[in-house]
Amino acid sequence: MIAKQLISDFITPLSLSDTGAIALSWMDDFRISHLPVTNKQELIGIVSEKDVFEMNDFETQFINLHLSAEKIYIYDHQHIFDVFRLIFEHKLTVLPVLDSKKQYLGCIAYQNIIEQFAQITSLDNPGGVIVLEMSLNDYSASEIAQIVESNDAKILSMFVTSHSDSTRLEVSLKINKIEIGPIIQTFNRYDYLIKASYMEDEDLEDLRERYDSFMKYLSI
């Protein structure tokens, strides 16, 4: 999936003639804390709720302000992983999308990203979750897949988390079976460290809620 496919239909960008009061009203309506400012099809910048509150007068038009905000955007052909990275890196609630000529096409709202994240990680599909911990040198995606498939199961999604101050990895697996006890036993026989596992429906629902809370925290 690419950025162009994630553009929100309901978010309207601010123009230079709009005021801080209009920006706050739209942010409240759209339930976001950022809005792009455009001049026709040119992206001027991104205004945050904090920026508006720091204005001396909410009725001041943006054309009378020096918009010093960095122009953060993504091109329409870039992959959804790049969208994830930019939104979370800059803690944005919207991300402008430009075409190859740097003309504004629309923006991606963080709500879209949360929904897509749930789909990519298969959180809405029934199944169990296994979290492995290992050293970087011991990581083998093919061996992990072989262990899972030897139990007549499939990996729906796999995410690897690393830390800059450590050579340890966390590998999170979403399996297409709720009963993952035999798979865990096989990992144990191969001397894998099982950091966590989720097998029951209520555990998976709790995991979904924590993922959603974490994503919203990063996006705000």
- pLDDT-derived band of residue 202, with 50, 70 and 90 as boundaries? very low
- What share of the chain has pLDDT > 90, as a percent? 52
Distance CA 13, CA 103 (A): 13
Most confident of 83-87, 146-150, 155-159, 212-216: 146-150
Q: How far is CA 99 from CA 36, 49, 107, 131, in A?
A: 15, 26, 12, 39
State the pTM of this model. 0.67
Residue 104, pLDDT > 70, answer yes
Residue 128, pLDDT > 70, answer yes
Distance CA 151, CA 127 (A): 14
Domains contained in the chain, CATH given: 3-118 (3.10.580.10), 125-219 (3.30.70.260)
Distance CA 20, CA 118 (A): 34
Minimal CA–CA distance to 218: which of 27, 96, 84?
84
**pLDDT per position as a tens digit, 30-74:** 999 999 999 989 999 999 999 899 888 899 888 877 665 568 999
Three-state SS for 11-31 is CCCEECCCEHHHHHHHHHHHC
Is residue 82 within 8 Å of residue 74, measured between CB atoms?
yes
Rounded mean pLDDT, 152-162: 88
pLDDT of residue 220: 46
Structure-block tokens of residue 13: 């960008």
Residue 163, pLDDT > 80, answer no
Question: HSE (CB half, 13 Å, CA atoms) of 144?
Answer: 24
- What share of the chain has pLDDT > 70, as a percent? 85
Rounded mean pLDDT, 113-132: 76
Distance CA 176, CA 125 (A): 8
Structure-block tokens of residue 123: 């959180």
